[in-house]
Structure 1
Amino acid sequence: MLERLLKSYVDNRGKPPDECMRHLPYFKTLKIFSAPTETRSQLMAEYLDDWYHASRREPYYDSHKKGDQFTGYWAWEAAAITYILEIDDASYRSAKFYPADLVDFARSINAPLAAQPVPENVGLRAKSGTACPKTGVWETLDIPLQHRRFEQGEIMQATDAAYGLTVWRYLSA
C-alpha cells in the first residue's frame, strides 16, 4: 500500500509488490488502486466498513479498553488513498474511522497529487556533521545565522547552534 502511495510522489519506484507486510487491513487497499475509477468509492466504503475488525492484529486494536491513553481510531491510509486517487468520498464521508477533515484540508491547500519538479530557487541543503557536497559559501538555517565557506568533502559543522540539528543552505561559489 505504501509503495502505491509513494509511486505518486517518487519517480522510478518500480512495480509495487502484490502483497502487504502488514496483511490486515491494508492488503484490502490494493484492489482500490487497481480498480476502475467508477468503482473506487464503493471499494473504499467497504474497506472502511471492515477496517476496525480487520485491524484486530494491529497494536492499536481495542486500545479504548486499555486505560487512559486512547486517542481514537483513524484510517489515515483511507484519507491518503482518497486524496491521491481523487476518489469522490461523498458515499463514505461519515464512515466512523474516516478522517474526512484531513482530506478536506489537503484539497483546500491543493497539496500536490504527484511528484513535482523541484523549483530552481530551492537551494542545495546539507546537515551539519556531513561532508560538504559542493564547495562554496553556506548559511545555517539556525539562530543566529552563520555564514561559512566549505570545501567539497569537508565536514560541515556549526558553532553555537540553537537547535539539536543544524541545516546548511548553499548560497554561492
Structure 2
Amino acid sequence: MLERLLAPYIPGREEPPNESTRHLPYFKTLKIFSAPPELRAEMMKDYLKDWYHASRRERYHNSHKKGTSFKGYWAWEAAAITYLLDIDDSFYRDAEFYPADLVAFARSIDAPRSSEAKLEDQELRIKSGQACPKSGTWETLDIPLQQRKFAVGEIMQAENASYGITVWRYIGD
C-alpha cells in the first residue's frame, strides 16, 4: 500500500508488489488501486466498514479500553488513497473511521493527487546505477558537477563520485 502511495512522487520506482506485509486490514487497499475508477468508492466504503474488525491484530485495536490517552481511531490510509486516486468520497464521507476533514483540507490546497501524474510534470531524480526513465541531459547532484546524455533504459553511472551514492537530475532534451 505504501509503495502505491509513493509511486506518483518517485519517478523511476519499480512496480509495487502485489502483496502486503501487514495483511489485515491493508491488503484490501491494493484492490482499490487496481480497480476501475468507477468502482473505487464502493470498494473504499466496504474497506471502511470492515476496517476496525480487520485491524484486530494491530497494536491500536481496543486502545480505547486500555487507558486515558485514547484519541480515536482513524483509517489514515483511506484518506491518503481517496486523495491520491481522487475518489469521490461522498459515498462514504460519514463512515465511522474515515478522516473526511483531512481529505477536504488536502483538496483545498493545490497539490498533485493523481496516480497518473505525468512524468514530465515532476522533477526527475534517479540514483546512479538505475535505468534511465527519460532520454535527455542529466546532471549529478555531486561535486564536481557532471552532465551526461542518457537514453531510456541506459544504466546511469557517475564517474569519480564524491559522496558515494550519486543522484542524477533531469535537466532537458
Matches within 5 A, 1:22-37: 22-37=22-37
Residues 91-141 of structure 1: per-residue CA shift (max 9 Å, x gap): 1000000000111011000222247534xxxxxxxxxxxxx9447xxxxxx
Tell which structure's C-alpha radius of gyration is larger: 1
The unaligned stretches of length 5 or more in structure 1 are: 119-131, 136-151, 155-173
Matched, 1:111 2:111: yes
Report the equivalent of 1:47.
47
Quick one: distance in 2 between partners of 1:87 and 1:117? 22
Quick one: distance in 2 between partners of 1:39 and 1:17? 22
Letter in 2 for 1:105: F
Matches within 5 A, 1:61-72: 61-72=61-72
Letter in 2 for 1:46: D
Quick one: distance in 2 between partners of 1:8 and 1:133? 25
Letter in 2 for 1:109: I
Q: TM-score, normalised by structure 1?
A: 0.67
SS state of the match for residue 89, structure 2? coil
Quick one: distance in 2 between partners of 1:75 and 1:43? 14
Residues 22-43 of structure 1: per-residue CA shift (max 9 Å, x gap): 1100001011001111100000
Q: TM-score, normalised by structure 2?
A: 0.67
Farther off after superposition, 104-113 or 84-93: 104-113
Quick one: distance in 2 between partners of 1:54 and 1:16? 23
- Higher relative contact order (Cα pairs below 8 Å, separated by 6+ residues): 2
Report the equivalent of 1:96.
96
Quick one: distance in 2 between partners of 1:21 and 1:109? 32
Q: How much identity, in percent, do the aligned residues show?
A: 65
Matched, 1:85 2:85: yes
Residues 120-168 of structure 1: per-residue CA shift (max 9 Å, x gap): xxxxxxxxxxxx9447xxxxxxxxxxxxxxxx969xxxxxxxxxxxxxx
Indicate how the Cα distance of structure 1 residues 14 and 153 shifts in structure 2: closer, same or farther if over 3 A, else same. Answer: closer
Q: Which has the higher helix share?
A: 2
The unaligned stretches of length 5 or more in structure 2 are: 124-140, 145-160, 164-173
Quick one: distance in 2 between partners of 1:97 and 1:111? 24
SS state of the match for residue 25, structure 1? helix
Quick one: distance in 2 between partners of 1:76 and 1:12? 26
Quick one: distance in 2 between partners of 1:56 and 1:112? 33
